[in-house]
């Protein structure tokens, strides 16, 4: 499809379990799904910000993520 980045298919939820974001029984028909989660990981692999929720309808607001990125860069936006 022309993506310039890799995509992950996690059919057996191995990655979801590894990162401890499995939400047991929260999906349709009580299926296990991933908890809503946003991460800011820099190019070196350092995790600077994590936002996890228990509610599948709740996500970080864009300004929250951008503020976290700015803070990790010392308050500057490139």
Q: What is the mean pLDDT of each run of 10 residues along the chain (78 residues)?
A: 87 88 89 88 89 84 91 75
pTM of the entire predicted model: 0.65
Write down the pLDDT at residue 74: 84
Question: Which run of H or E residues covers position 39?
Answer: strand 37-41
Write down the pLDDT at residue 78: 56
Tracing tokens 């709740």 back to the chain, one arrives at 58
Is the distance from CB of 34 to CB of 23 less than 8 angstroms? yes
Question: Which run of H or E residues covers position 62?
Answer: helix 62-72
Cross-strand pairs, 40: 49
């Amino acid at each position: 499809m022309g993506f310039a980045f890799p995509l992950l298919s996690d059919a057996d939820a191995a990655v979801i379990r590894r990162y401890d974001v499995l939400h047991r029984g929260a999906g349709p028909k009580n299926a296990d799904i991933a908890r809503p989660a946003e991460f800011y990981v820099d190019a070196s692999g350092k995790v600077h910000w994590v936002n996890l929720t228990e509610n599948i309808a709740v996500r970080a607001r864009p300004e929250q993520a951008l503020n976290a990125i700015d803070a990790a860069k010392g308050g500057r936006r490139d």
